[in-house]
Amino acid sequence: QVQLVESGGGLVQPGGSLRLSCGASGRIFRINTMGWYRQTPGKQRELVAAITSGGSSNYADSVKGRFTISRDNAKNTVYLQMNSLKPEDTAVYYCNANIETTRYSITQPFWGQGTQVTVSS
């Protein structure tokens, strides 16, 4: 099937930076939109940023101007550069990719296992 593997989370002080990476592998015909979501205990998972295969991106208002999403289509990888981090950015971050596994299949959402980002002094 398809696997999404994330890396790059950790503990950082307020104002610091982190870069998350997520690589997709397995049975992949085409990857459409890729994105990053985050979730804190007791809250719904929310979209942080998303990027199409053509490079168009959108962001949650809370991260605009601080986070940048990018992707390398040749490597089936999406990145999230997070700058000027705030304590309220603390969450588990999940990678999402909408993938066609064969020429004839519909697009399906796949998720990474999640990576913890903690912003604290």
Taking the CA atoms of 109, 119, 20 and 60 in sequence, report the sign of the dihedral they define.
positive
Share of the chain above pLDDT 90, in %: 99
Q: What is the mean pLDDT of residues 74-78?
A: 97
CA distances from 47 to 88, 120, 121 (A): 15, 22, 25
Share of the chain above pLDDT 70, in %: 100
